[in-house]
Amino acid sequence: MRFDAQTFLTPSKSRKAHIMSNDTSDSSHPTSEKEVLVVRLNLDDPDALSVKEEPTRGYRLRYDYARQFYDDGDLERAIQEAEASLELLRLPDFYRIKNTLLVARALDNYEDAYEAWSYADYLYDESVRKATEAKNTAYLGLLTGLGSELEELLLDLRKFQKQDSEDELEESESDYGMEWTKRDGRSLENISLSPGRRVPNERGPPGW
């Protein structure tokens, strides 16, 4: 089983319409086709693409570029572009979370995807803590959307894990001509969700 665009979101068939309805980047600065062309020409220096009204514009454009490949079903390229952004030392935490979630969606192994999700969840908690201490209500508002995205992805990961386990069990039964009891494994069911917030049992960034 594979994470594809249809599993989590309804992707646009048009490369031009690549900003999703649940994208939590600043909607007051919609990406134009002209900006997309710019980002395709120069992705090396995001800070050079920033403007006074939107200091993180260059990082948003990089994320939008990676997201285009995901929307078009090119998951391998989407992962490559998102991981390239994650290597940038000055990448803001907001876009570090978004790029990590994009990687998690595109991965075809639920354990790797959950590991990526856990890292994004850790970064989210840290961002909320810092924004709360700084009383940055505007940033907290943006983070609210990311919290919802984290919850949605976790629920989809649970479905993916269940289906993946069932597929493996059926394959084993077919290969050996016998029935197997359902194997124990790392389960996502031990993560509980509370209204508006996740309460994962694991804490801290994994070695991802």
DSSP letters, 52-93, are TTBTTHHHHHHHHHHHHHHHTT-HHHHHHHHHHHHT-TT--H
Contact assessment for residue 118 and residue 206, using Cβ atoms and an 8 Å cutoff? yes
Contact assessment for residue 61 and residue 177, using Cβ atoms and an 8 Å cutoff? no
Q: Is residue 144 part of a domain?
A: yes
Percent of the chain residues topping a pLDDT of 90: 44
Q: Is residue 160 part of a domain?
A: yes
pLDDT at residue number 44? 73
pTM equals 0.62
Contact assessment for residue 124 and residue 147, using Cβ atoms and an 8 Å cutoff? yes
Tokens 């993560």 sit on residue: 191
Q: Is residue 204 part of a domain?
A: no
| Domain of residue 24, residue span | 5-199
Q: Is residue 141 part of a domain?
A: yes
Q: Is residue 75 part of a domain?
A: yes
Q: Is residue 55 part of a domain?
A: yes
**Cα angle for residues 38, 142, 159 (degrees, 5° grid):** 95
Question: Model confidence over 31-71: pLDDT tens digits?
Answer: 555 454 444 546 677 887 777 888 888 899 999 999 999 99
What burial class does residue 12 get, using C-beta atoms within 10 Å of its C-beta: 0-12 exposed, 13-18 middle, 19+ buried? middle
Distance between CA atoms of 8 and 141, rounded to whole angstroms? 23
Q: How many domains does the chain have?
A: 1
Q: Is residue 207 part of a domain?
A: no
What integer best gives the mean pLDDT of the chain? Answer: 72
Q: Is residue 36 part of a domain?
A: yes
CB atoms within 10 A of CB 121: 26
Question: Which amino acid, 203?
Answer: R
Question: Model confidence over 26-42: pLDDT tens digits?
Answer: 544 555 554 544 445 46
197: number of CA atoms within 13 Å, CB side? 7
Closest CA to 131 of 85, 93, 89, 179: 93
Q: Does position 126 have pLDDT exceeding 70, yes or no? A: yes
